[in-house]
Amino acid sequence: MRVFFLLSLILLASCRLQEKTKDYTTLYLNLENDPITFNPIVAEDAYSNLINSKIHESLLKRDVKTLKWKPALAQRYEISRDHLVYTFFLKKNARFHDGHPVTADDVIYTFQKIMDPQTPNPFMKVYYQDVQSVEKRGSHTVIFRLKKPYFKSLEFLGGFEILPKHIFSKQADFVSNPYSLRHPIGAGPYKLKEWKTGQRIVLVRNEDYHGPKPEIRQYYYRIIKNEAVALQALKKREIDMLNLKPFQWTRQTNSQNFNRYFQKIKYISGGYRYIGYNTRRFPFTDKRVRRAITMLLDREKILASLMDNLGFEVTGPFHMAGNQYDKNLKPLPYDPVAAKKLLAEAGFQLGKDGILEKEGQKFIFELLIPAAAPFYEQFASVAREELLKAGIVMEIRKLEFQVLVEKANKRDFYALMMGWSVPLESDPYQVWHSSQIERGHNFTGFSRQDLDALIEKARVDFNEKRRNALYHKIQRIIYEEQPYTFLYTSYNLIALHRRFTEVEAYPAGLDPDRWKILYQWEF
């Protein structure tokens, strides 16, 4: 009996050792929300895009260190001198997760679905509107011909994820089919192993991947919406990595025990938070009103109190660390006196109840914010009190993220508070051109002819210095009009388990594909 007991202990220890060894190659993360779709052609939300970027593959991908484009499904490419013809030569060993080879037919099919009027993705179509034709030469060469040059053509022609034609062409509904919603088949480095809604998503390494295989064999995402719960999961080492909130970074992750297991990495974020106004609706049709609201909010004080000064006030829609951003443009000041003067000029007067009104209409509006997002809730609460002092009533409505996105897409809002992610160099067409008012991401409905002209001119200028001068003019117009109250860009504040090494923050962020694993490190 004793021998049997000892043998059982040895076997149990052996199983645990094997399980622990296996766990070393798994990166445990949190995800605040479930993805909405596994179809990258229609995905708009960050959660879907994050998962899709690992399941699906594009012709090229950007090297996060050098920012240069490197081969993915394409082994090489050629660009004509006039920037009108782009030729991609596909790898012949690239296959989808079901073993089917990736061919020129898949590339052409995916592009055709991007441009299909029935595909609900106006935010993508704008980047391909000048493609005149796409054709194949043999089974592994694709040629795009453009009507006119566009400085980001290589990025967008080489950067969209390729879908398997042999699967999607047989689906009655391109958007709402099993492969889009629950069972994706891509050509990327990871495959979907499990998705339990509201609990976890597990991706496993694609052992038949055509490129170098990353050392991380599995991504295990726990769906944790509450930031306090996520931090506790990190401290219990149930997850390996977390993007910390400022107060968590400064006050809750400095113990000796925490630093024993986790390294902390800080780098500037490629995004910003904002309040967007529906310029079609009273009272936001008047830029004086929009500017007044911005000037009634003490953004500097809120930055200190809610973000421990781990962020920056921004003045426009470009990446703060990039050359597109006009660093000479200072945020509008916190100035309630000047703000009230602007409101008076716009025709608002205080009513007997202390609320501003104009021609019988009271200044009462609803602000939509994402639910279960403490920063947004805290900021909105402070803003409501500040605006009330000036006679403006702001009602706060919390919505699930997907519902909030639907409201924005339907233009069914007065004001909303969200975030937007941008690369080091972006094209503002998608958000700020007037052609995107009805179906694109120009939710606010803001437009000016001179703004459109500048955006269009910048798209065809391949001289970076001239192009950035145009972007500075674009930023100044948006700054003057304030269709957004631009708030903050912040740092990415990452806590990562120390068993992952060779970790570096590059201009485009972190790259887990480059990481190595210390297998002897204690969990």
- State the SS3 of 166-206: HHHCCCCCCCCCHHHHCCCCCCCCEEEEEEECCCEEEEEEC
* Phi, psi values for residue 119, rounded to 5°: -85, 120
CA 30/CA 223 separation, integer angstroms? 6
pTM here is 0.85
- The helix, strand and coil proportions of the chain, stated in percent and rounded to the nearest 5, come to 35, 25, 40
Q: What is the CATH number of domain 271-490?
A: 3.10.105.10
Give the pLDDT score at 523. Answer: 66
Structure tokens at 392: 């403006």
Tell me which residue has tokens 């972007």.
471
Give the pLDDT score at 191. Answer: 98
Rounded to 5 degrees, what angle do the CA atoms 374, 376, 382 make? 100
Give the pLDDT score at 15. Answer: 39
Structure tokens at 335: 């100035």
Give the pLDDT score at 12. Answer: 38
Structure tokens at 241: 């990595």
Kindly write down the DSSP assignment for every residue of 221-275, as one continuous string. Answer: EEE---HHHHHHHHHTTSSSEEE--HHIIIIIS-SHHHHHHEEEEEEE-SEEEEE
- The angle, 0 to 180 degrees and rounded to 10, between the axes of the packed helices 374-389 and 299-307 is 150
Rg (alpha carbons) of the chain, rounded to whole number? 25
Per-position pLDDT tens, the chain of length 523: 444 344 344 333 443 433 344 488 999 999 999 999 999 999 988 899 999 999 999 999 999 888 899 999 999 999 999 999 999 999 999 999 999 999 999 999 999 999 999 999 998 999 999 999 999 999 999 999 999 999 999 999 999 999 999 999 999 999 999 999 999 999 999 999 999 999 999 999 999 999 999 999 999 999 999 999 999 999 999 999 999 999 999 999 999 999 999 999 999 998 899 999 999 999 999 999 999 999 999 999 999 999 999 999 999 999 998 999 999 999 999 999 999 999 999 999 999 999 999 999 999 999 999 998 889 999 999 999 999 999 999 999 999 988 999 999 999 999 999 999 898 899 999 999 999 999 889 999 999 999 999 999 999 999 999 999 999 999 999 999 999 999 999 999 999 999 999 999 987 889 999 999 998 777 6
Amino acid letter at 310? L
Rounded to 5 degrees, what angle do the CA atoms 74, 76, 77 make? 100
Boundaries of every domain in the chain: 23-34+188-267+493-517, 46-168, 271-490
Alpha-carbon distances of 65 from 73, 216, 319, 504, rounded to whole Å: 20, 19, 17, 9
Pairing of strands 271-277, 74-79: unpaired
The sign of the dihedral angle between the CA atoms of 485, 489, 495, 499 is: positive
Give the pLDDT score at 19. Answer: 39
With respect to CATH, is domain 23-34+188-267+493-517 assigned 1.10.287.110? no
Peptide bond into 483 cis (omega under 30): no
The sign of the dihedral angle between the CA atoms of 166, 172, 178, 184 is: positive
- Domain 46-168 is of which CATH architecture? Alpha-Beta Complex (3.90)
